[in-house]
C-alpha cells in the first residue's frame, strides 16, 4: 500500500504524487487522512504541500 499511496510527513512525496495527477489532467484530487490528527493533516497540507503545488 505504501508504494502506491503517498504516506508520511515528507512534503516532497506528497507534492510529487499530486503533481502526477495534475500532469495527467485531473482538475480535482481528494486527499484524506486516516487517523486521529485531522487538524494536523490539514495544517501540513495548508502550509507544506499546497503552496508548492500552486507554484
Write the DSSP string, the chain: -TTTS--SS-HHHHHHHHHHHHHTT-S-------SS-HHHHHHHIIIIIHHHHH-
Model's pTM, two decimal places? 0.82
The per-residue pLDDT for range 25-53, each reduced to its tens digit, is 999 999 998 889 999 999 999 999 999 98
Confidence of residue 7 (pLDDT cuts 50, 70, 90): confident
Domain assignment of residue 4, yes or no: no
- Residue 9 contacts residue 35 (beta carbons within 8 Å): no
Q: Kindly state whether residue 45 falls inside one of the protein's structural domains.
A: yes
Percent of the chain exceeding pLDDT 90 equals: 69
| Domain assignment of residue 48, yes or no | yes
Set of cell numbers at residue 55: 507554484
Q: Please tell me the total count of domains within the chain.
A: 1
Amino acid at each position: 500500500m505504501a508504494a502506491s499511496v503517498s504516506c508520511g510527513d515528507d512534503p516532497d512525496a506528497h507534492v510529487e504524487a499530486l503533481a502526477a495527477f495534475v500532469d495527467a489532467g485531473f482538475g480535482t484530487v481528494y486527499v484524506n487522512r486516516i487517523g486521529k490528527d485531522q487538524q494536523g493533516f490539514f495544517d501540513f497540507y495548508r502550509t507544506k504541500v499546497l503552496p508548492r503545488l500552486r507554484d
